Amino acid sequence: MPCGILRADRIVVNKTRREMLLLRGNAVLRSYRVALGREPAGHKEREGDGRTPEGRYVIDRRNPKSRYHLALHISYPSKEDEERARAAGVEPGGDIMIHGLKDGERREGDWTQGCIAVTDEEMDEIWGLVSDGTAIEIEP
């Protein structure tokens, strides 16, 4: 990363606005329009429900060989998510990522299985601005 470029210390996703902000302190470094899970309303409850989770997580690893260009893994499910799913008798699901597009294919609307998708060009930028351990807040 070149000198002088600030890395984000927090990511905020607003599901209703389909917006993801990369922040450093209170300053917005970048803003992106995002696609969400195919059933975006509400918190992810179980594997296969097509919902994007809501809550506080961290970026805990990255996948440079993702089928969706590049991918940053979100630490879902939390212990609370696992307990909620267990109480409901379902699996919580997992593998929630911020990622690019499959084969560069642009899609309209919400189409992921619960992930947060941006264009490949945007994912290249995000990849360089977000470190492992960065906090992410996903709001309704």
* Cα–Cα distance measured from residue 55 to residue 48, given in angstroms and rounded to the nearest whole number: 18
Active site residue 115: yes
| Separation of CA 64 from chain center | 15
Q: Which of 3, 43, 69, 99 is catalytic?
A: 99
Beta partners for residue 72, in sequence order: 62, 98
| Cα atoms in the Cβ-side hemisphere of radius 13 Å centred on 62 | 15
* Cα–Cα distance measured from residue 8 to residue 36, given in angstroms and rounded to the nearest whole number: 21
Active site residue 99: yes
| Separation of CA 15 from chain center | 11
Task: Mark out the alpha helices in 46-90 (DSSP H runs).
Answer: 79-88
Q: Which of 3, 43, 73, 115 is catalytic?
A: 115
The catalytic residues are 99, 115
